[in-house]
């Protein structure tokens, strides 16, 4: 059995700005294509709630807080369909209350919550957004994922976003309410769709937008084996998007089965040195383009467990950031996430 790596820079404060909570055990038998790599990755952690999150965030790194990211979990079946996602925020708020009790250590899990509402419902989304805000004082914003590819085998069966979602009139009619309510927006698209986020950011220059997972470079299905030849195109789009001052980027998600870094899964078992070498071109490109004040390392757990355990993943990030100054590290590992998701009180408590 491989011994766990020693934790690098164990005192460095970290706010993990992107993880999920779910219980997919009742749903796994319903998933078609069980051998799709993404479904295989989910099967690594079909049950990921407070205990599993606590085990990961207590595994050696100084995780002072986390941000929950919507994933369609624990919807309220007793609500009208448009309001069912309020159940997810209410559930996660309970997890956050557990952590805030202090009984499980000084870290604050789910200190901020990003939920979901169907922005294509236009003005009808407003009462849903207000209900989400009423469900938790930790609610900060919305993710409405737009990931799509013409080849359905790229994403697999769980994802059904229509092409060009972020450009549609219906979506933008709902999207404008985020700014009016002071809410953030997380965008998840695939690398070939980065122009969709660029256009959205330019159309709404005052709306804070966070690009998830470095824009999701692809090394799966028909894209497999083409990472290197597509890198320059990805980098050009990242640099263009970074010219929009309202956009920040999450540095992670590269261990997803979609990205294939590494391809092996599940859990890969690679060292943080090897992972850092795989991810460095993408992470350093994003940091250089956006700057540390608009970039934040993320775990994307448990999805990224496909390629790395939690301790090794953060060691890899620390290796990539080894040449950064102390203020740059503070921003990349905690400060940017705290500012974007309204967690200034955590930073103030740490005195950093």
Question: Which domains, from first to last, does the chain contain?
Answer: 13-350 (3.20.20.140)
Mean pLDDT, range 105-113, rounded to an integer: 96
**What pLDDT shows up at residue 33?**
59
The more confidently predicted of residues 242 and 350 is 242
Residue in the structure block whose two tokens are 């470095």: 214
For residue 187, the cross-strand partners are 211
Query: How many other β-carbons are positioned within 10 Å of the β-carbon of residue 51?
Result: 10
Per-residue pLDDT at 190 exceeds 90: yes
* CB-side neighbour CA atoms (13 Å) of 312: 21
pLDDT band with cut points at 50, 70 and 90 for residue 267: low
| Mean pLDDT (whole number) for 11-40 | 83
Average pLDDT over residues 211-215: 98
Rounded to the nearest 10 degrees, the angle between the axes of helix 272-290 and helix 310-320 is: 50
Judged against a pLDDT cut of 80, whether residue 2 lies above it is answered with: no
The pLDDT of residue 213 is: 98
pLDDT of residue 140: 98
Q: Residue 22 has what pLDDT?
A: 96
- pLDDT band at 268; cut points 50, 70, 90: low
For residue 1, pLDDT beyond 60: no
* pTM of the model as a whole: 0.96
pLDDT tier at 347, thresholds 50, 70, 90: confident
pLDDT at 158 over 90: no
Q: Is the pLDDT of residue 263 over 90?
A: no
Question: 3-state class of 246 per DSSP?
Answer: coil
The token pair at 256 is: 């997803």
Residue 48 has pLDDT above 90, yes or no: yes
The answer to whether 255 and 205 have CB atoms below 8 angstroms apart is no
Does 45 or 167 have the greater pLDDT score? 167
Whole-number percent of the chain with pLDDT over 90:
84
Q: Give residue 146's pLDDT.
A: 97
DSSP state of 223: G
- E strand or H helix that includes residue 14: strand 13-19
Please tell me the predicted confidence (pLDDT) of residue 168.
98
Angstrom distance (rounded) from CA 69 to CA 209: 14
Instruction: Give the DSSP H or E segment for 22.
Output: strand 22-23
Assess whether pLDDT exceeds 80 at residue 159: no
In the predicted model, is pLDDT for residue 220 greater than 50? Answer: yes
pLDDT in tens, 308-327: 999 999 999 999 999 999 99
pLDDT band at 82 (very low <50, low <70, confident <90, very high): very high
Contacts of 328 (CB under 8 A, 6+ apart): 292, 321
pLDDT at 34 over 70: no
Query: Mean pLDDT across the chain, nearest whole number?
Result: 94
pLDDT confidence tier of residue 345, bands split at 50, 70 and 90: confident
pLDDT at 235 over 80: yes
How confident is the model over 116-156, as pLDDT tens digits?
Answer: 999 999 999 999 999 999 999 999 999 999 999 999 889 98
């Amino acid at each position: 059995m491989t011994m766990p790596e020693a934790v690098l820079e164990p005192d460095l404060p970290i706010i993990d700005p992107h993880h999920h909570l779910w219980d997919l055990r009742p749903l796994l038998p319903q998933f078609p294509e069980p051998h799709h790599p993404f479904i295989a990755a989910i099967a690594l952690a079909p049950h990921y709630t407070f205990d599993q999150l606590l085990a990961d965030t207590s595994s050696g790194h100084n995780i002072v807080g986390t941000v929950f990211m919507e994933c369609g979990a624990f919807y309220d079946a007793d609500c009208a369909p448009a309001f069912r996602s309020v159940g997810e925020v209410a559930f996660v708020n309970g997890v956050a209350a557990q952590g805030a009790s202090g009984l499980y250590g000084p870290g604050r899990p789910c200190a901020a919550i990003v939920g979901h509402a169907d922005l294509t419902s236009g003005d009808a989304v407003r009462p849903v957004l207000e209900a989400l805000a009423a469900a938790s004082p930790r609610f900060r914003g919305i993710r409405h994922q737009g990931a799509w590819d013409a080849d359905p085998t790229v994403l697999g069966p769980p994802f059904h976003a229509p092409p060009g979602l972020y450009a549609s009139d219906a979506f933008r009619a709902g999207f404008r309410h985020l700014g009016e309510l002071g809410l953030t927006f997380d965008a998840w698209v695939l690398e070939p769709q980065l122009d969709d986020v660029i256009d959205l950011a330019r159309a709404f220059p005052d709306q804070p937008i966070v690009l998830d997972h470095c824009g999701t470079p692809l090394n799966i299905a028909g894209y497999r084996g083409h990472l290197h030849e597509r890198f320059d195109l990805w980098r050009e789009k990242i640099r263009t998007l970074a010219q929009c001052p309202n956009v920040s980027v999450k540095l992670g998600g590269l261990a997803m089965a979609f990205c294939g870094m590494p391809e092996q899964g599940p859990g890969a078992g690679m060292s943080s040195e090897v992972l850092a070498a795989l991810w460095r071109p993408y992470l350093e490109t994003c940091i250089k383009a956006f700057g540390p004040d608009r970039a934040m390392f993320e775990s994307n757990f448990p999805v990224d467990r496909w390629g790395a355990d939690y301790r090794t993943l953060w060691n890899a990030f620390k290796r990539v950031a080894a040449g950064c100054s102390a203020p740059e590290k503070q921003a990349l590992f905690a400060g940017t996430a705290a500012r974007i998701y309204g967690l200034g009180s955590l930073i103030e408590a740490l005195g950093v």
